[in-house]
Structure formats: structure tokens, C-alpha cells
């Protein structure tokens, strides 16, 4: 965005709060996602050298150098904005589990780009277009990145790497039941099992279910329609062997009338329910009952 490169002064600060997200929601593979009211908190100060302090989820496994995904995203954002920094004093408290299909990587990328904007443009409002466009470019699709920025439910229409984004008006009765297992399934592994193409009939069925999903989320049809809208998503069918516990729990919930789906690439289970519903629990999953969340926010 800038032809020159200038170093940032030591002591400049940024701070953000960024949400977990659930992608796909059944038929919306790589194009539909939902922000959850479940957030990571991060702050950064430009410093002579880099230090990384992390508490909460994943603290034992996260890199303590500039290979950390948030710091790598800060550096990428600063480069786009025409700046460098000698180092960073970075502090994070994570609550979003890693490798579970609820957008921890997208949260890190969006947080990093937001922090980069705060460091480079301290007197300006957050450049949402900058964060969105670069975040989607880094992720390769919008289903997690867009709701992480905009909040609520967002549909990406058209080209995966540069879609038109449509925020959906969610009906007020929706709650998000998120069942998180202990097992980790890397997104890269979950993508490798998907075929390169699908039959015409499958595509037609998936398109019709995605249309019904958006109508149900908006309250244009009754919440009971979400069960049919989320039936047998293409990507879940191929990923079932990677996560048999998730596959079986989804089948059990759906048999009782609850529209359970794999969250993102899994193995977390997402069930969208109306206010008066309460699905059964499973001892193999940690349950979180949430509401749709806001997007990334400054914490300065």
C-alpha cells in the first residue's frame, strides 16, 4: 500500500479481541461462516527485540518467536502498509481451542492484521477492507476470515479468494451449541480426503440446502427447516473416517431432530438451536453454549 518502508517507533501499541468462528454450517463449504461469542485477547508493543507471552489454550505448544502466526501476520500487514518493526512484545490470552475447527488460525491472522493496522495507522479507524481483503487472501477463502472481521453470519459469493461478502440478518432465537472433543484434526489433513470434483446431482442438492440454510438463519422459514438444510453435507461424508466420534455424535443428535454439523474441518460439532431447545450431552465432548458473536474489536 506504500512505496516506501519506514520503521515504527519503539513503544507503539495495539490491542485486539477476536472471535472464534464456525465455517461451512453444513452446505456452505468454504463460503458460509458464523462468528461465535468466544474470544482471544491480544496486545503488542513495538520493542527492540521480540518476546512472546501466551496463556490459555495451546500455551504449551505455541512458538515463542516471530514464527507465531499472529506475529507473522503482523509483519505481513506492516509490509503491506509500508512499515517494519525491530521487534515485538506480544501478549496473548487464548480461549479458542486449536485444531478443532473453530477458526483459531483465522482468529490469529485477523488479529495480526488488525494489530498491524493499529501500529501503522494509530490515528485512524480500523481499515476493515484492508483486514478483510488481506485476511481472505492469506486464508484462501472467506468462511472464517469474514465473520471474524464482520461478526455474525457472512456468505462469500463468487470467487473463493476475492468473494462478494454478504452479512446475513440472523433471527434472534438462534443459539450455538459447540461440542469440542479432545482430538485434533489439522485442516490440511481434512482437506486432503476431499475429492477434486463432485457429481451434478450432489451439487444441485448442496446448492438447494445452502439456500434453505440462509433462509432458516434469517428466520424466513421456521427453525425446524435447518435440519433438512444441513442433511448429509458433501465434505462431511468424505471426512467421517477421520473423526468417527464426531460422525457418530452428529448422527445421534440428528436422529433426535437437532441440526448438528461438523464445525469447519472438524472435529468440533456445531448445533444451531432455537431458544427453547436443549440437545443431549456426550461425555467425550466439552460443551459450550454461545450466541452469535461480534467481529474483531480494538481493545485499546
Helices (H) and strands (E) in the chain, counts: 9, 13
Residues 6+ apart with CB under 8 A from 184: 98, 99, 100, 267
pLDDT at residue 2, as a whole number? 47
Residues 50 and 119 in one domain: yes
**Span between the terminal Cα atoms of the chain, in Å:** 24
Signed CA dihedral, 175, 299, 154, 199: sign only: negative
Residues 6+ apart with CB under 8 A from 123: none
Q: What is the pLDDT of residues 157-193, one digit of tens each?
A: 998 878 999 999 999 999 999 999 999 988 889 999 9
Residues 182 and 270 in one domain: yes
Residue pair 56/18 in contact (Cβ under 8 Å)? The answer is no
Residues 54 and 192 in one domain: no
pLDDT at residue 3, as a whole number? 57
| Domain finish residue from 147, 168, 189 | 168
Q: Is 50 helix (H, G, I), strand (E, B) or coil?
A: coil
The enclosing domain of 25 has a CATH number of 3.30.230.10
Cα(236)–Cα(233) distance, integer angstroms: 5
The enclosing domain of 255 has a CATH number of 3.30.70.890
- What are the CA-CA distances from residue 56 to residues 41, 93, 269 (Å)? 10, 6, 22
Residues 143 and 190 in one domain: no
pLDDT at residue 276, as a whole number? 81
Domain range for residue 64? 6-168
Cα(127)–Cα(121) distance, integer angstroms: 9
pLDDT at residue 27, as a whole number? 95
Residues 17 and 116 in one domain: yes
| Domain finish residue from 168, 197, 229 | 168
Overall number of domains in the chain: 2
Low-confidence ranges of the chain (pLDDT < 50): 1-2
pLDDT at residue 232, as a whole number? 81
Residue pair 165/154 in contact (Cβ under 8 Å)? The answer is yes
Amino acid at each position: 500500500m506504500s512505496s516506501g518502508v519506514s520503521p515504527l517507533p519503539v513503544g507503539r501499541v495495539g490491542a485486539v479481541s477476536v472471535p472464534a468462528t464456525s465455517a461451512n454450517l453444513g452446505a456452505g463449504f468454504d463460503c458460509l461462516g458464523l462468528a461465535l461469542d468466544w474470544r482471544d485477547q491480544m496486545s503488542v508493543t513495538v520493542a527492540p527485540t521480540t518476546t512472546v507471552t501466551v496463556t490459555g489454550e495451546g500455551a504449551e505448544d505455541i512458538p515463542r518467536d516471530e514464527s507465531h502466526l499472529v506475529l507473522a501476520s503482523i509483519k505481513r500487514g506492516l509490509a503491506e502498509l509500508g512499515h517494519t518493526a525491530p521487534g515485538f512484545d506480544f501478549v496473548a490470552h487464548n480461549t479458542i481451542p486449536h485444531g478443532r475447527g473453530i477458526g483459531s488460525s483465522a482468529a490469529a491472522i485477523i488479529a495480526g492484521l488488525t494489530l498491524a493496522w493499529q501500529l501503522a495507522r494509530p490515528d485512524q479507524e480500523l481499515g476493515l477492507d484492508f483486514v478483510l481483503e488481506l485476511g481472505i487472501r492469506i486464508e484462501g477463502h472467506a468462511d472464517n476470515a469474514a465473520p471474524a472481521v464482520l461478526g455474525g453470519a457472512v456468505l462469500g459469493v463468487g470467487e473463493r479468494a476475492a468473494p462478494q461478502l454478504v452479512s446475513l440478518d440472523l433471527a434472534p432465537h438462534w443459539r450455538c451449541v459447540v461440542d469440542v472433543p479432545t482430538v485434533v484434526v489439522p485442516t490440511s489433513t481434512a482437506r486432503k480426503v476431499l475429492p477434486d470434483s463432485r457429481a451434478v446431482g450432489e451439487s444441485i442438492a448442496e446448492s438447494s440446502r445452502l439456500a434453505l440454510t440462509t433462509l432458516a438463519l434469517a428466520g424466513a422459514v421456521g427453525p425446524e427447516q435447518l435440519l433438512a438444510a444441513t442433511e448429509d453435507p458433501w465434505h462431511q461424508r468424505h471426512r467421517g473416517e477421520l473423526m468417527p466420534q464426531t460422525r457418530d455424535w452428529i448422527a445421534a443428535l440428528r436422529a433426535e431432530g437437532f441440526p448438528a454439523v461438523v464445525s469447519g474441518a472438524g472435529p468440533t460439532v456445531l448445533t444451531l438451536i432455537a431458544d427453547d431447545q436443549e440437545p443431549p450431552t456426550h461425555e467425550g465432548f466439552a460443551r459450550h453454549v454461545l450466541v452469535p458473536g461480534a467481529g474483531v474489536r480494538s481493545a485499546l
